[in-house]
Structure 1
Amino acid sequence: MAYVTVGLPALGFVAALAFSLRYGFTLRDLALLAGMYLVTALGVEGGLHRFFSHRSFTAGPAVTAFLGVTGSMAAQGPILFWVAVHRQHHACTDRDGDPHSPRPLGPGLRGRLRGLWHGHAGWLFTIRRAGWTRHVSDLVRDRLVMKVNQYYFGWVLLGLAIPAAIGGLLGGAEGAAGGFLWGGLARIFLLDQVTWSVNSIGHTLGNRPYRTRDNSRNVAPLAPLSVGGSWHNNHHSQPALATNRHSFWQIDVTGMFIRTLDLVGLASDVRYRRAKK
């Protein structure tokens, strides 16, 4: 599965570039890429991360299912697996037991690069596949979450079919191909790189306004693409919060999305930033 997770979207991204060299990169392709990217990025950061992993707010069945489905369409793993890995990361951040710490794996530059690759995507090839369900006992008891988790591969295929279908309606066969490649496979590849960069770069380079026990860092340039997830030191300082924005200038699209859900009554018990003492 690691080879499929890493390799297939990469091949799809190359195919999308080749397709655009032949047929051009249209506004339709851009819209499908951007639209599907935003929906699935919010599914990952707002759903898999802040909602399912940290329980930073509560929601009814419709929002729970929506966040589970859109997060699954990112093809980064089923809900239970994604959450278990992330909770283990927080329990052992940058220490033994952290699934994807980018700590150097050997001396010198080579060891640092090996560690960076491990923290980025290499961990997918080495992670232990047994015993992780103990980290998600609360989710295992939730019938709706288990149902969404059960159909993970169907949601991944849906995430490929939606942009292909929209592209086909707007542009025929060429539009369907562009939607499948750009709104589907290339979108998965690009979001993967951003999400994994929070794990690798976000524990290697960046600002540390909070002296946490780990090496988490804020990576400002990634904030728009990660929909607020790259304020990683902010998050590790107060991981249960629904918002990562600790300064007025920090972009946190996911935090705004959760606030909107709260305002319209679709989210409750939202954990906002604690007041300074």
Structure 2
Amino acid sequence: MHGEPRDVGRQSLVYLFLLVPMAALVAAAPFAWATGLLSWTDIALAVGFYVLTCHGITVGYHRLFTHGSYKPHRPVKIALAILGSMAVQGPVISWVADHRRHHAFADREGDPHSPWLFGTSAWALARGFWHAHMGWMFQPRNTTNAERFAPDLLKDPDLVRIDRLFWLWTVLTFALPALLGGLITMSWAGALTAFFWAGLVRVSALHHATWSTNSVCHMIGERPFKSRDRAANFWPLALLSGGESWHNSHHADPSCARHGVKRGQIDTSARLIWLMERAGWVSNVKWPNPERFAKLAVD
């Protein structure tokens, strides 16, 4: 009984931070058509904040904090944790715990968001797609034990502090585009449209790009490497996801810093890690091992 108020509060925040931006995304095209209120300033701010927060998730939350694909200097670690938090996909420790649990039980009982948990009929797959894409987040009991799956993060004072300040990063991810839009255009209208496009619409677009890795990339695509699950490479999402949609490659070698391991596979997250390595900001990067991937290749 003691946990119920906290569960209710948590679910209320899930509804607020997922559904409000989604409503803006649905309304975006009619809004632009009816009002004409979409400027180059809005587009530039939306793209800029999308790139920053997307790579906060991919380079920070995922490849660094979940899989330890490289070792960063402390300022890089803090910056990536904050940028990832500004994607409004949850505090860093719970996000990492969920994802580690996903890898531990990928596409089996215990996986928090597999699309294959309900069967293989048309209805079961439709239900599974919804569950994997976003439905799992609306289930109060589908929570992950951080002490079991993210004990290392719980021992990091920087990450604990950033995790507790998730509310602040959420406020900033919407306030900063509005502030910049207002200052650039010197108008309240510019602040409002920037809040809509570079705040609400951008957050929801990134939500769906990330969620598609859980849903689409476990159902559709190529599987050139052996893995214990049904993760697949789906190239149309490569740019929007920062390279995360090379999902079969990732599940074949989870700690590898580059997911697009073949020539021509777009992976902007790996490129950013490479640039940081060249600058001396990160070290011990786990780049692809050709011999390992040759052994993992499907005959």
Equivalent position SS for 2:162 = helix
Aligned-pair identity (%): 38
Given the superposition, is the C-alpha separation of residues 267 and 113 from structure 1 closer, same or farther in structure 2, using an over 3 Å criterion?
same
Question: Cα offset for 1:106?
Answer: 5.1
**Structure 2 runs not aligned, ≥5 long:** 1-12, 293-299
Equivalent position SS for 1:276 = helix
CA-to-aligned-CA distance 1:239-273 (integer Å, 9 cap, x gap): 00111121111000000000000000101111111
Given the superposition, is the C-alpha separation of residues 107 and 259 from structure 1 closer, same or farther in structure 2, using an over 3 Å criterion?
closer
Q: 2:157 maps to which residue?
A: 143
Does the CA contact (< 8 Å) of 1:53 and 1:83 recur in 2? yes
CA-to-aligned-CA distance 1:104-144 (integer Å, 9 cap, x gap): 52563111100110010001012533633321100000011
**Aligned with 1:248 (options 263, 266, 280):** 263
**Aligned with 1:94 (options 89, 95, 107):** 107
Q: 1:32 maps to which residue?
A: 45
**Aligned with 1:259 (options 268, 274, 285):** 274
Q: Which runs of 4+ in 1 moved over 3 A?
A: 14-19
Q: 2:166 maps to which residue?
A: 152
User: Structure 1-normalised TM-score?
Assistant: 0.96
Q: 1:177 maps to which residue?
A: 192
Q: 2:5 maps to which residue?
A: none
Write the distance in 1 (CA, Å) between the matches of 2:117 and 2:124. Answer: 5
**Aligned with 1:59 (options 68, 72, 75):** 72
Q: CA RMSD, aligned part only?
A: 1.4
CA-to-aligned-CA distance 1:59-111 (integer Å, 9 cap, x gap): 12210111000000000000011000000000000000000000152563111
**Aligned with 1:120 (options 110, 121, 133):** 133
Letter of the 2:210 counterpart = T
Question: Cα offset for 1:16?
Answer: 4.1
User: Structure 2-normalised TM-score?
Assistant: 0.89
**How many aligned positions are there?**
277
Given the superposition, is the C-alpha separation of residues 130 and 246 from structure 1 closer, same or farther in structure 2, using an over 3 Å criterion?
closer
Does the CA contact (< 8 Å) of 2:108 and 2:117 recur in 1? no
Does the CA contact (< 8 Å) of 2:37 and 2:193 recur in 1? no
Equivalent position SS for 2:103 = helix
Write the distance in 1 (CA, Å) between the matches of 2:121 and 2:277. Answer: 49
